[in-house]
Amino acid sequence: MGDFVIDLIAATLRIATPLIFATLGELFCERAGVLNLGIEGTMFWGAFVGFTGASLTGSLWLGILFALIGGMLSGLLMSLLSVRLGVNQHVSGLGITLLMTALSLFGFRLIFGENRVLPSIAPFQQLNLFPNSAILGPIFSQYTLTYIAILLIPVVSWILYRTTFGLNIRSVGDNPEATDAAGINVYSLRTIALVIGGGLMAVGGAYLSVAQLGSFTFGIVAGRGWVCIALIIFANWQPLKVLWGSLLFGGVQALQSRLQLTGIKLPYELFLSLPYIVTILALTLAGRNVSAPAALLKPYKRE
């Protein structure tokens, strides 16, 4: 039983890692007033760029770096459309998802061809923080990226709530007119937020290919981006609550896959659809009280 729990906690952290990265990325975008539905495609793009970069250069960390840069470019494209041109955020975000997905599929076939054996790399090793502990050792045998993800939460929280930059991001998301009147460039700030956000989303995707899987499959992201959109609402746009939401989701998923292995008959699809249903319920119960950034979804036009 003890082993089961330890294994469950460790798996929860592993599953939560990409969600933490990508949800924090989405958080930057949404706090600045832009719903970035490009998240699903940007994660997929990050998984592709990360894997390809690592595979071609032989360095896993270079792969992650390429993914970060690639994701920032995706965020830049999103900002060009939704911030500079003021295109409807839903449609431009979905367009980004479609484009980044298509580019990744195209690029993967172009670079690796049609192989019967999936191209693969030796993925990251796990780092044991407590080699002498029988309990903490197995739990904290995680990829370095997992530790970075967890550390990133207080960092993002500090940036958003304790720095001028963070204050500006939040005010751009709540009241762009007033922020503009205070002499702050709304367009630039939203662009920066989208670029940071895109980078984080792509690193979340790259974690899947470069750390967890060691290969790139077409179903690698499998709706995780949409989970993050749900998590943000669940977390009420607060970085610290993103951690709990991600862990809860990771825990449910880790539990269901372990119960499935034990042969207990469970409708595991019900488990997997829970985060979506819970989010819809949360939206319903919270109704108008959800503290979404006031200017979310509204393109800003300077008069």
Under the binding rule (CB under 8 A), the answer on residue 240 touching another protein is no
**Choice between 139 and 180, CB closer to another protein:** 180
Closer residue to another protein (CB): 37 or 194: 37
Tell me if 270 contacts another protein by CB under 8 A: yes
Alpha-carbon span 72 to 81, nearest angstrom: 14
Q: Which is nearer to another protein, 150 or 274 (CB)?
A: 274
- The answer to whether residue 297 forms part of the interface with another protein (CB under 8 A) is yes
User: Contacts with another protein in 154-183 (CB under 8 A)?
Assistant: none
Give the residue from 179, 190, 165 showing the smallest Cα distance to 29: 190
Q: Does 116 bind another protein (CB under 8 A)?
A: no
242: its two tokens: 């993103």
The count of other CB atoms within 10 Å of the CB of residue 166 is 17
Size of the site for another protein (CB under 8 A): 44
Give the one residue of 229, 242, 247, 254 binding another protein; rule: CB under 8 A: 229
| Both structure tokens of 174 | 């709540």
Distance CA 201, CA 126 (A): 22
Using the rule CB under 8 A, is 56 a contact of another protein? no
Q: By CB under 8 A, tell whether 188 contacts another protein.
A: no
Pick from 91, 118, 178, 294 the residue near another protein by CB under 8 A.
Answer: 91
Cα gap 290→220, rounded to integer Å: 31
Q: Is residue 231 part of the contact set for another protein (CB under 8 A)?
A: no
Distance CA 34, CA 13 (A): 28
Q: Give the separation between CA 252 and CA 245, rounded to whole angstroms.
A: 11
Quick check: 261 binds another protein (CB under 8 A)?
no
Nearer to another protein, 80 or 148 (CB): 80
Contact residue for another protein among 3, 4, 59, 90 (CB under 8 A): 90
The DSSP secondary-structure symbol of 82 reads: I
Distances (CA, A) of 11 to 130, 194, 298: 17, 30, 39
287 binds another protein (CB under 8 A): yes
Q: Does 76 bind another protein (CB under 8 A)?
A: no
CA torsion angle 62 67 70 71 (round to 10) = -150
Nearest to 222 by CA among 71, 6, 19, 70: 19
| Residues in touch with another protein (CB under 8 A) | 35, 37, 77, 80-81, 85-88, 90-92, 94-96, 98-99, 101-103, 105-106, 109-110, 223, 226-227, 229-230, 233, 267, 269-270, 272-273, 276-277, 279-280, 283-284, 287-288, 297
